[in-house]
Structure 1
């Protein structure tokens, strides 16, 4: 108890500087998002779909660097919770704005709204996206988020195009979630199609031809464009390329600028983003090719069967002395694939991407501790995913006793009783990085932690499914990590350092753990990825697989970075409304929210 007295004294001294603000009609947020669930037609299929402002994807948000931004999110659903997560943006100074119901905040109750306070740091310009972090909602409740450069652009181009890739499903979010978490397991099945900017055609059946249409990306000849690719898929790693256009240069990965890296195609996992400089054909080249429409082809990787879909790159011929060619049909796919894409490239762009500027990469001598996260599917009368024998699953404590889950957001638990819920660093160090009581991963501010993500063959009671492997896109909330690359088999420090020699890792927030083989022996290591992370931003952060099905089935970890004095920087009395489901920081039709502004603390 003596340990906490200085903390309490510090917090009490802050109390006089805090003001409770009523967000009434005079409060004008910078953006407003409405989350609804409606039976809509997309890709020619009717489905009860979670939408943002009536569409999927929702509206693109263009936000400035180095400014506090307020985004109001309405949950207009009468029977479901929701949140909004700002994928790739760290909210260290705004602890209740990360949008994670397992970690940082209570979800927004039905027919309520919540005002997210975001600080977009200087240097964070890049490509991001927002999505719900509740259940399977992120498969459609999502949208692009672009942080605009505040200074001179490091690359020059004539315009931008967003390519936001999602998947189409024929079951509702709730049905998919119940099937995945019930003791009588039911798989979601594979997606019906890839949707490019919300447009596509179901590969199985079309009930409404009016919405079965591919996306058209308009460009002009002799131009340079920045194509921002967003991997908003739920399940699939995807490969993609443009017909007759192979001069692509990657200039950004997950919000960090890179030196130009040439590639003829892209491979994108769930949650990853790339910006690519795309040079269009000249009028003369178009005349030689004899066409002005070209296919953009996208295919699944690492799934039982290959799914293939398309969009169309269409040239405007204004200013050219040629007539446009016959337009490709937007309501049908080609009978024969125009491109032959390579199979899975294990380690795509690993060791090739280089930071545009010095990024303060920590050397191996600076590493203070190493934590290995062993990931494995368990099939033993039920099916779940475990990380170091722990599963974090949302909203299932009472109904699914075979799963590990918190009763409330972990940050809320810390505020209510930090002495009970603050993980033991000493115990965690002795237990492969996990505190056995709280089942969280603690870290101290100032550490440089190396995180090894190790894939293992499935553990099962029957021989038919034992040893199965999947590829996993792992995503870290909070501060970005330095990606150290990947390899097959069991991780080795010597192999990793040899592969790293002569390279400078880039900062990322989502990278792939490849499986390298479809199966292996049960409990056998097969595939790893390594990160290096400076622990500088206190808070409760999730580090998890971004495949939605795997997340729902428990493939998530919770990290508590910092001690109580680092995390609980505001008196409990001042954040009381955040600590209760539907507390007074959430507004509805009958009352305005009342809350503090964390930006006033100057943290």
Structure 2
């Protein structure tokens, strides 16, 4: 059979495999009681973390392609609302199960339950995490694996392992967050992690046998820092990114940003004489400062022999940015879906970080800092009738864009900021069309440039775009560079598009796509339990972004971002002004307090004197 004939038969074969898997599909149920537990994963500090059923690390969710996944979540935290986002799940016709609070659902308050129920008609490596405020850095995140016996590489490996990597904080985010978006941090310096973990611990051994091949699933479940990954004296083949199978690509180093995933095939050596370091190195360029006691590199091991030495990694680069990771833009999807051409909707956005009039630093897409509506956007869709196609009803600060079904959508994202940003789109994997600069030793060369490099369609050789672009759901926007992505709006739903650095999301680096809203009304049925959660949380579930049910075009009372700094002011100026005003008020307060103290004392003396005079006069009258 020729390769061309094989390619033509693939859709038919895929259909047959799909029907077979549907026949074998089952319902997989997890019951989650979400509570606080105590953990010390780095051996340095005991702290509270979000556990499930009294345990942490959290359970790995495992299903087969085609299964029905049911997660019954009870919020037993007592003092925090929560939710679950199943990262990378397309949620076809179940956008109400996607999980981001105030986008597709209300936050689940303490003492309430929510059931997530959807069909998993996709394959690969994913994860789940809380999507309510700053909650997943407190430990509420773990792998979600969709097994697929029909994958083209299923017979190429003997066993598989999952490796999660993450940054770790010793303090609860409720203590960290108030010190982040504040006038005291006008530059927006992100909180520095206290350590870095692999599989929620340190010094992990992966037991392997000589000569065998293993599938390693790699997931960055961190809230902030990207990680470089390699295995000493080993190369590997990339076969999947973010749930999308790729043509095998030989590589030796990966750059894995927050929320990205890779699956790689690693063939072991034929000797058991030694064990080999699995190396992860935190991208220190993302950190404003590197404390002397922060260990950026972690060593775990491919353990060929438990009795052999477990050497520390031999890291020879001066700084991690000297590493030359594989460029994900060059990967070719195994299904060879061609480039989406002639976009129907092209959206040009610019990322900036600026101070608002409270002196704190916020994040913006085209000068809009995402601000939560009073009604979850999906519930506005469901309650607004034909007006659901009017972006006005979703509010001015949710930055909502309404898309027609099956439009080809292009997003051009320019970075006016000196930091990199891993952007995630819910409900889709998008094509990676272009990026500047690409991964490699020059990725950070433009950080100190005078002006950002902006995408110019007329000056770009679009014939050089990949014929079969790589697809994934998280793509890194380079510092002061740009990227171009495309997707087909073939999944009606309300989909969040945001930076997956959780600190940046809290600053407002997000927007919402309302995809085929009238089709959502026809195809989505929100369970009553979800509305009951809104009732318990005290969150309205009808109306526009301002919770207005009488006039959906009247946004009076909606949530909006703070005002801009007055012209000519800087963050430092605001800080100086704030402290000057505080000092002035304190000074005036002390003067007033001192003066009032004297007046009060004198008044008391006069009262006492008047009392003595009255007593003397009374005595005279009596005599």
Q: Same fold (TM over 0.5)?
A: yes
Measure how far apart 1:233 and its partner are: 1.3
State which of 299, 302, 314 in structure 2 corresponds to 1:311.
299
Q: Which moved more, 1:406-415 or 1:101-110?
A: 406-415
Give 3-state SS (helix, strand or coil) of 1:221's partner.
Answer: coil
User: Does 1:482 pair with 2:482?
Assistant: no
Contact 1:36 1:51 in 2 (8 A): yes
User: Does 1:413 pair with 2:413?
Assistant: no
1:375 match:
351
Give 3-state SS (helix, strand or coil) of 1:133's partner.
Answer: coil
Distance, in Å, in 1 between the alignment partners of 2:151 and 2:524 is 41
Distance, in Å, in 2 between the alignment partners of 1:502 and 1:484 is 7
Measure how far apart 1:111 and its partner are: 2.1
Contact 2:76 2:111 in 1 (8 A): yes
Larger Rg: 2
Distance, in Å, in 1 between the alignment partners of 2:519 and 2:471 is 24
Q: Deviations over 1:127-168 (max 9, x none)?
A: 000011112222221111111115254341011111101111
Distance, in Å, in 2 between the alignment partners of 1:437 and 1:498 is 33
Measure how far apart 1:174 and its partner are: 1.1
Measure how far apart 1:199 and its partner are: 0.7
Q: How does 1:186-197 map to 2 (within 5 A)?
A: 189-197=191-199
Give 3-state SS (helix, strand or coil) of 2:348's partner.
Answer: strand
Choose between structure 1 and 2: higher helix proportion: 2
Contact 2:380 2:388 in 1 (8 A): yes
Measure how far apart 1:69 and its partner are: 1.8
Distance, in Å, in 1 between the alignment partners of 2:151 and 2:487 is 29
| Alpha-carbon spacing, 1:248–1:339, altered in 2? closer, same or farther (3 Å) | farther
RCO comparison, higher one (Cα < 8 Å, 6+): 1
Q: How does 1:451-470 map to 2 (within 5 A)?
A: 451-457=411-417, 469-470=418-419
State which of 450, 454, 470 in structure 2 corresponds to 1:506.
470
Q: How does 1:522-533 map to 2 (within 5 A)?
A: 526-533=480-487
| Alpha-carbon spacing, 1:486–1:79, altered in 2? closer, same or farther (3 Å) | same
Measure how far apart 1:554 and its partner are: 0.7
| Alpha-carbon spacing, 1:543–1:420, altered in 2? closer, same or farther (3 Å) | same
2:531 match:
579
Give 3-state SS (helix, strand or coil) of 1:343's partner.
Answer: helix
Distance, in Å, in 2 between the alignment partners of 1:234 and 1:175 is 16
User: Does 1:299 pair with 2:282?
Assistant: yes
2:81 match:
81
Contact 1:412 1:579 in 2 (8 A): no
Distance, in Å, in 2 between the alignment partners of 1:253 and 1:446 is 24
| Alpha-carbon spacing, 1:578–1:268, altered in 2? closer, same or farther (3 Å) | same
| Alpha-carbon spacing, 1:293–1:348, altered in 2? closer, same or farther (3 Å) | closer
Measure how far apart 1:446 and its partner are: 1.8
Q: Paired residues, what number?
A: 485
| Alpha-carbon spacing, 1:65–1:496, altered in 2? closer, same or farther (3 Å) | farther
State which of 537, 545, 566 in structure 1 corresponds to 2:519.
566
Q: Deviations over 1:496-552 (max 9, x none)?
A: 54484454102210010010xxxxxxxxxx211111110111111100000000011
Distance, in Å, in 2 between the alignment partners of 1:496 and 1:301 is 32
| Alpha-carbon spacing, 1:344–1:450, altered in 2? closer, same or farther (3 Å) | farther
* Consecutive unaligned residues in structure 1, runs of 5 or more: 1-27, 201-213, 318-322, 393-403, 429-433, 458-468, 516-525, 587-603
Choose between structure 1 and 2: higher strand proportion: 1
Q: Which moved more, 1:406-415 or 1:99-108?
A: 406-415
Give 3-state SS (helix, strand or coil) of 1:568's partner.
Answer: helix
Distance, in Å, in 2 between the alignment partners of 1:327 and 1:254 is 31
Q: Which moved more, 1:412-421 or 1:260-269?
A: 412-421
Distance, in Å, in 1 between the alignment partners of 2:191 and 2:151 is 46
Measure how far apart 1:575 and its partner are: 4.7
Distance, in Å, in 2 between the alignment partners of 1:279 and 1:105 is 44
| Alpha-carbon spacing, 1:387–1:501, altered in 2? closer, same or farther (3 Å) | closer
1:545 match:
499
| Alpha-carbon spacing, 1:353–1:301, altered in 2? closer, same or farther (3 Å) | farther
| Alpha-carbon spacing, 1:189–1:138, altered in 2? closer, same or farther (3 Å) | same
Distance, in Å, in 2 between the alignment partners of 1:497 and 1:66 is 41
Q: How does 1:116-195 map to 2 (within 5 A)?
A: 116-121=116-121, 124-139=122-137, 140-151=139-150, 153-155=152-154, 156-182=156-182, 185=185, 189-195=191-197
Contact 1:37 1:48 in 2 (8 A): yes
Contact 1:67 1:119 in 2 (8 A): yes
Q: Which moved more, 1:223-232 or 1:436-445?
A: 436-445
Contact 2:233 2:276 in 1 (8 A): no
Measure how far apart 1:293 and its partner are: 4.6
1:268 match:
256
State which of 249, 252, 269 in structure 1 corresponds to 2:237.
249
| Alpha-carbon spacing, 1:422–1:237, altered in 2? closer, same or farther (3 Å) | same
Distance, in Å, in 2 between the alignment partners of 1:374 and 1:259 is 33
Give 3-state SS (helix, strand or coil) of 1:96's partner.
Answer: helix
1:320 match:
none
1:232 match:
221
Give 3-state SS (helix, strand or coil) of 1:176's partner.
Answer: helix
Measure how far apart 1:407 and its partner are: 1.4
| Alpha-carbon spacing, 1:295–1:575, altered in 2? closer, same or farther (3 Å) | closer
Distance, in Å, in 2 between the alignment partners of 1:135 and 1:353 is 34
State which of 387, 395, 400 in structure 2 corresponds to 1:440.
400
Distance, in Å, in 2 between the alignment partners of 1:63 and 1:437 is 38
Contact 1:537 1:561 in 2 (8 A): yes
